[in-house]
A and B are shown apart, each in its own frame.
Chain A
Amino acid sequence: MRRAELIFAAILAAFSIYLMYMAQIPPLQIGWVPKKGPGSGAAPFWLSAGMLICAIWIFWRGWKGATPQGRSTEPFMDSYTTKMVAVTVGSIFMMFLATHFIGAYAAMFLFLLFYVGVFGKIPWPTTIAVSIAIPVFIFFLFESGMKILLPKGMSEPLFIPLYKMFVY
């Protein structure tokens, strides 16, 4: 945990410096512009400078052991947590990526099939029921009810008859 606290504080400090750099790229100005007031880059630059000071402060306190995380000898993530976070974030990532190609509904179906059935070890009949019911519910709520069309990708032709029946 201690190492995570220090590494994360260092990342935040580096991120703050990056933000400060971004905020002063011309034509952004960080000072007072005569007759116009503070430059457009002033707020992000000086706020990021504050972030940098805080990140150094956090690092220093962690280093001294002034925070519970700075003193902790426990691992940041145990094996269960690492696996759970990797699988969860990874499968959501794949769902978003797949949406660009096969559309939101097919991606959601595959995500649910994997997450509930394979990762969650829920019996397959329930898994299949859930994987179909949730996208169907979302279709009726968003497309039919609120007329918000989710991306369909290459699965678009399959939805054309449904649009005629439920959306328009």
Chain B
Amino acid sequence: MELLSHLMDGFSVAFQPFNLGMMALGCLLGLFMGAMPGLGSVNGVAILLPITFFVPPTAAIIFLAAIYYGAMYGGAISSIMLGIPGASTAVATTFDGRPMALQGKADFALVAAAVASFVGGTISVILFTLFAPPLADFALRFGPQETFALMVLAFATFVGLGGDDIPKTIFMILLGLVLATVGLDNISGRPRLIFFDLQGFYKGISFIVLAIGIYGIGEMLWTLETSRGKVEIASNKFTFKRLGEALKELKRAWKTMTFSSFLGYFVGVLPAAGATPAALMAYGLAKSFSDTPEKYGKGEISGVAAPEAANNAASTGSMLPMMTLGIPGSPTTAILLGGMVIWGLTPGPLLFIEQSEFVWGLTASLYAANLVTLMMNLALIPLFVWVLRMPFMILAPLIFVLCFVGSFAPDTRMFDPWLVLLFGFVGYVMRKLDYPLAPLVLAIVLGPLAEDSFRQSLISDQGDWTPIFTRPLSGIVMGCAALLFVAPMLKGMLRKNKAKAASGEQS
């Protein structure tokens, strides 16, 4: 009952006209951002975060969460119409979405994506409402040792579950942590890593600057390279009659959508996993459990519904650890978390007690944002298709200009746009060489919190670091982290042994 009353309070906050307006605007911008090839929720949130510093925190988080949601819906539009995923989260949607579009059933695929996103979003928000308060209550027992252990666990998941090259992943985590130490030390007040004695470094390197560089400029360079500046749009007509037929066909995918929503939510909760693997896993499982797996990849409607339900559910899932533990579950939530710190809020369990209006306002807005995005998505499909015809050589410079003003705005200094350009170029080179970028962003956001909690725990234990391993809760978390660090190496060794054994048998 207490939960319901909190939620009702949340709805009264979410339905305040200003918050409602911000949510609708966020959904619309998110849909557009998601629909643009090469841009996704993380780009939208990174580029538009600076403009939220001028509205109250609740309206700001509602706006950004709506962008996050909208982009998840919108990602499917370019996957289907252009055959280019709007974001990596919509990669799996192209597998069946594009063949459907080529068969003249683009509208069916778009409706399936929109409805599945709604189902995934709604189921996951219900799960979020149920799981968040008990988890936050539990997390109230955490001291600096547990907080530090959780940060280590978040980084370890990238190594254990990220699936990327291990030394490159660890390097990126460490680089993010080092970049977070640039500027004045929180504890001693001494300046650290002031490169070339440039005054700008005294204020530190903001995660926004890094995120805009990587996800704005770097991502656009990557998209310009891969698309060669040209995209081809599928043709289709959209009518109400066809909408009804699409919904009828989609009925047979409801089981897939429900299952994918649960799967997506729980995968999304894990820090390194997020929406992309959730969507791919959902697609793979939907195909394995299907009676007609041979239809997948050739234009099967369930093949569109499964990844779309999962990626939306995962986006809500990734908000759970961010809100309750202060550990973001995805690069987008890492940026949201950084934004919360700038708005003067401390993400974590105390948020549920001290800023209950903020938490429940956000939760309620997620329910509403789902519905608003679904309606907008269905109503505005022709508009999105028209916008997608915009030449990429107009979209790209528009993004570059937004990156410029977006990075200048928070501190109104030209130092930051210059850093954005540097990070954008280096980020692009790193991406080409398969260095994972998400751990870098996560590490620069978590860096100050990780260092402070580590130093606090050392100071409180007179320099003894063993309590991080011996206190029951932090010990268990550190154990899990150690397993995750070691898991890929063990897997590699096992694979080698098997290969050796197999070659031995053959000879």
Contact = CB atoms under 8 A, between A and B. Distances in A.
Contacts of B430: 8
A152 to B, nearest CB: 12
Given A19-B178, A138-B405, A99 B451 contact: no
Given A5-B433, A85-B428, A116 B455 contact: no
A57 B192 contact: no
Contact of A4 (B178, B418, B428, B433): B433
B433 A23 contact: no
Interface string A16-59: 00010011000110001000111011011001101100110110
Contacts of A100: 414
B434 A44 contact: no
A99 B111 CA distance: 45
A5 to B, nearest CB: 6
Contacts of B391: 120, 122
Interface majority SS on A: helix, strand, loop or mixed?
helix
Contacts of A14: none
Contacts of A36: 188, 459
A106 interface: no
Given A92-B400, A96-B421, A43 B193 contact: no
A166 interface: no
A92 B421 CA distance: 8
A28 B190 contact: yes
A85 B408 CA distance: 23
Given A58-B168, A85-B428, A141 B51 contact: yes
A35 to B, nearest CB: 9
A93 B54 CA distance: 28
Contacts of A44: 178, 181, 192-193
Interface in A109-168: 111-112, 115-116, 119-122, 126, 130, 134-135, 138, 141-142, 146-151
A33 to B, nearest CB: 9
Contacts, number: 160
B372 interface: no
Contact of B393 (A12, A51, A99, A119): A119
A38 to B, nearest CB: 6
Contact of A93 (B409, B421, B429, B451): B421
Nearest to A100: B414
A8 B426 CA distance: 10
Nearest to B460: A37
6 contacts: A8-B430, A43-B455, A84-B225, A85-B425, A99-B417, A115-B393
Interface of A: 1, 4-5, 8, 12, 19, 22-23, 27-28, 32, 36-38, 40-41, 43-44, 47-48, 50-51, 54-55, 57-58, 61, 67-69, 76, 80-81, 84-85, 88-89, 92-93, 95-96, 99-100, 104, 108, 111-112, 115-116, 119-122, 126, 130, 134-135, 138, 141-142, 146-151
